[in-house]
Structure formats: C-alpha cells, structure tokens
Amino acid sequence: MPKNVLAALNRLLCPFCLLCLSTVTNAQVNNTDTAGAYTLDQCVTYALKHEPMINQAMINQAIVRASNAIATAGWLPQVGVAGTFTHYFSLPTSFIKDSSGKVVNQKAGIVNTFNPTLAVSQTIFNPALIYAAHAAPVYNRQAQQITDSSKIAIVAAVSKSFYSLLLTLEQINVLMDDTARLNKNVSDTYHQFVGGVVDKTDYDEAVISLNNSLVTLRQAVEAVRPQYAQLKQVMGYPPTAHFNVVYDTAQMQQDIAFDTTRQLQFEKRIEYQVLQTAKALQRMQADYYRKSWLPTVGAFFDYEYEFEHNTISGMFDQSYPFSYAGLQVSIPIFTGLARVNNIKRARLQYDLLDWTEVELKSQIYSEYTSALAAYKSNLYNLSLSKENVALAQESYDIVKLQYQQGVVAYLNVITAESNLRTSEITYQNSLFQLLSSKIDLEQAMGIIMVK
C-alpha cells in the first residue's frame, strides 16, 4: 500500500484515538463506576446542582421566602425608641387671669426639654396583612414551580446533548470500521494491480473511496469537541475541566420503549401548573381589593420620660414619666374610586389569564401531537434501519467475495460498501433520534421527573 495513504490514515486516527480515550467509554452493564466517568443520570444529577439557571431559580425561591417574611412582619409587635430634645431661645407666651380677673400674658415653660419615648404597636386587623399571609404559601409554590420548570428544561437539554454526543461517537465508530474495510480494499486492489489481476482504475477507485471516508471521519472527529463543550455548558461543568461519558448500549435499547397509549393530561405540564398558581394569586388579589374597605385596627402603648430644666447641667436631675395605651381604627371612606378600579383591573387581568390558558392548552396539544408523531416515526425508522444493516452487511460480504472471484466489477464493491456505511449510520441516527424524541414526548406530556 502506498506510504501517503498510510500516513494520512495514521495522522487521522492517532489524534482520534486519544480523543476517544478522554471522552467516551462504551460500558455494557457494570462499568459505570469508572473514576471521572459520568452516565446520563450522573450528568443530569450534576447539572441539577451546578447549572447556573437552576441555582438562580433556587436563589429566587429564597428571595420569595424573604419577601413573604417582610410582607407578613406587620403581624408581629412593632417596637421603637425615639427621643426629642427641645431648647427654647424664647419661651412661649401664655395667657392667664390674675387675681383681679384680668387676662395677662406671661412667659411659661422650661428652656430645655428632653422626651425619650418607648413606643409599642400591635396590629389587630389589617386587610393588606391578611392578604399577605394568605398569599405567602402561594408565592412559595409559584417559586418552587418555576424552579421545577428550570430543572425539567435542564434534564431535557442535558439528555439531548448527551445523546447528540453519543451519536457522533457512534458514527465515528462506524466510519472507523468503514475506513478499515476500505483500507483493506486498497491494500487488496493494490496487490492485485501489481500482480496484473485488475487494472489501475480499480485501485484508483479504492483510494478515492478511502479518501472520501477519511474526510467524513475527520469531520465527525472535529464535531465531537463542540458537542462535548455543549454538554458541559448545559451541565454547568467548568469549561477547562474534563470528564468521560459512559453508557450502556443494552440499557439504551431498553430505554426507547414508551407507552404511546397514555393520554395527555394538561395538569401535569409545569407550565399549566404555573398558570394555575398565577390565577390563584389573581383571585386572591381581586378578593383583597373587594375587602379593602374593611378597617385597620391596631393597639398602641407609649411610655415616656420627660426631663425639664432651665440649664443643661441640671437637665437630668428630675424626671416626669408618664404612659398611655389605646386603640387606633382607620376606615377608608372615599379613595377616589381607586378601590372600584382596582377590582375592575384585577378581573380583567384574570380574564387575560383565562385566555392564556386557552392558548397554552392549544400549544401543549400541538407539542404533544408533534412529539408523538416524531417518536412513532423514529421508532418505525429504527426497525427498518436495523433490518437494513443486516441486509447491507450480507450484501457486502457476498459482493466482495464475488469481486475476489472476478465475477463482478469493483464498482459493485464500492456500492455495497457505501450502502453498508449508510445503513449503519442511518441506524445510529434512528436510535439516537428516537431517544431524543422520547425526551421531547415526555416533556410534552409533563412526565419528566425532577428531584
């Protein structure tokens, strides 16, 4: 075989072998505990802990809980300390009657006054606080649902990226086998050409086929790196760090099964659940506006020390404490029709959510029917592709034997080999497209489970 063909093959396969060793392990059953190797489930678990979008959603949950605590803090006693210091440059004038009954004016009061006050208030009834207390668990549920929505999206994205990477790697395996066959064909036709059994065109055709296969193989090898980077991105994995992916081909064959008779249930979709929570909050807000005419009732207690003296040095020589308690009631009588318009706006916003629900149901059903059709189509394609691989392999073996016996031309070998390669790649495409379409179908039906 010519040295230039061997050199090209070595230049391509050596870097590829190093890449494969650092990227993928094909485990049959019990080889998933390899250090630094992640199965699909482990990739998903890692993503659910480290992916930025999920961590942001969890932080938002904590923010919502803190906001609820702030909104309901008014139910607890409010305690404050205040102090007022007053210095009169000129004492105020007061009018009194003297002993003769005549009204006279005189300066009254103390030059320096200091009043420290301890004030305690307790809300007894407040419509806004009642709304905040009832809405708090609903806001918490909404935040949890948004986090679950992010998790579902990440599970689907990681799974599909994982399958996309494995598809390319499996295609590389097919192309490597194809290249090995073509390499053997080049060697065989070369020796036949040197021995005068075949003419040079057969040898040239063999080299052309090999070169074309090398080009395709090289393209597939280069496609691994960006797909590997994409998987790390959706996992939240450090870009400069590395890990292996490990998968069980037998388990993957079992994972393609799905009960297509299952009925679509809108309430299982996280988007539908989020919308129902938003409608519940809108109903509560409308109810709050309807009841906003109710009074606000609160109790208060003040304890004050009063210090008075005409000089600063004697300010704290004597104190005059006093205290008092009471109830405070506030009733809104007229608010410029704000309450009426708030109720009207809340009802209109609820109507908007009703129409949003109609649109969402239509969207969910469309996604479901598309995903179900894609799954069924890919499942059918897989069964035919598997049969085609067996037929193409059998055809190639027969044609190659016929060529070696001089029965058929080399063009028949090229055609049979091309059909075999195409059938194997088509089978791999069908398998991983089926797995991806199953993810889409599970997501459309709302049955992807998150931890």
pLDDT reported for residue 117? 95
User: Could you give the domains of the chain?
Assistant: 3-71+126-295+335-445 (1.20.1600.10), 83-124+305-330 (no CATH)
pLDDT for position 32: 40
Question: Which residue's structure tokens are 């090999």?
Answer: 210
Residue 418 has pLDDT above 70, yes or no: yes
Task: Give the contacts of 114 (CB within 8 A, at least 6 positions apart).
Answer: 83, 84, 85, 86, 306, 307, 308, 315, 316
User: How confident is the model over 101-126, as a mean pLDDT?
Assistant: 89
> From the centroid of its chain, how far is CA 253?
27
If you write DSSP's letter for every residue of 252-297 in order, what string do you get? HHHHT---TTPPP-GGGSHHHHHHHHHHHHHHHHHHHHHTTTSPEE
Q: Is 264 exposed, middle or buried (0-12, 13-18, 19+ CB in 10 A)?
A: middle
| Residue 299 pLDDT | 96
Q: What's residue 107's pLDDT?
A: 80
Return d(Cα 190, Cα 198) in angstroms, integer. 9
CA distance 245 to 165: 9
| Span 71-86, average pLDDT | 94
Instruction: Please indicate whether residue 359 or residue 318 has the higher confidence score (pLDDT).
Output: 359
Q: Is 145 helix (H, G, I), strand (E, B) or coil?
A: helix
pLDDT, tens digit, 9 for 90 and up, residues 262-306: 999 999 999 999 999 999 999 999 999 999 899 999 999 999 989
Residues 160-178, buried b or exposed e (16+ Cβ, 10 A)?
bbbbbbbbbbbbbbbbbeb
pLDDT: is 264 or 410 the higher one? 264
Q: What is the mean pLDDT of residues 27-34?
A: 40
125-146 pLDDT, tens digit per residue, is 999 999 999 999 999 999 999 9
Q: Which of 177, 215, 253 is nearest to 430 (CA)?
A: 253
Give pLDDT, residue 10.
52
Task: Give 147-156 pLDDT, tens digit per residue.
Answer: 999 999 999 9
Q: What is the distance, to the nearest Å, from the Cα of residue 269 to the centroid of all Cα atoms in its chain?
A: 15
* Residue 15 predicted with pLDDT over 60: no
Query: Hey, is 105 helix, strand or coil?
Result: strand
Mean pLDDT of 176-189: 86
Classify burial at 351, counting beta carbons within 10 Å of its beta carbon; exposed 0-12, middle 13-18, buried 19 or more. Answer: exposed
pLDDT higher than 70, residue 172? yes
**Model-level pTM?**
0.82
> How far apart are alpha carbons 48 and 154 in whole angstroms?
7
pLDDT mean over 244-272:
89
Per residue in 408-423, is it b (16+ CB within 10 Å) or e — as a string? bebebbbebbbbbbbb
Q: Which residue has the higher pLDDT, 450 or 424?
A: 424
Q: Does the pLDDT of residue 36 top 90, yes or no?
A: no
What is the average pLDDT value for the chain, to the nearest integer? 87
Let me know if 65 is exposed, middle or buried by CB neighbors in 10 A (0-12, 13-18, 19+).
middle
Q: What pLDDT score does 406 carry?
A: 79
Classified as helix, coil or strand, 167 is helix
3-class state of residue 23 by DSSP: helix
pLDDT at 30 over 70: no
Residues 139, 67 contacting (CB under 8 angstroms): yes
Phi and psi at 106, nearest 5°, equal -155, 160
Q: Residue 94: its pLDDT value, please?
A: 83
Q: Which residues lie closer than 8 Å to 411 by C-beta, 6 or more apart?
A: 205
What tokens appear for 13 in the block? Answer: 């396969």
Amino acid 451: pLDDT: 65
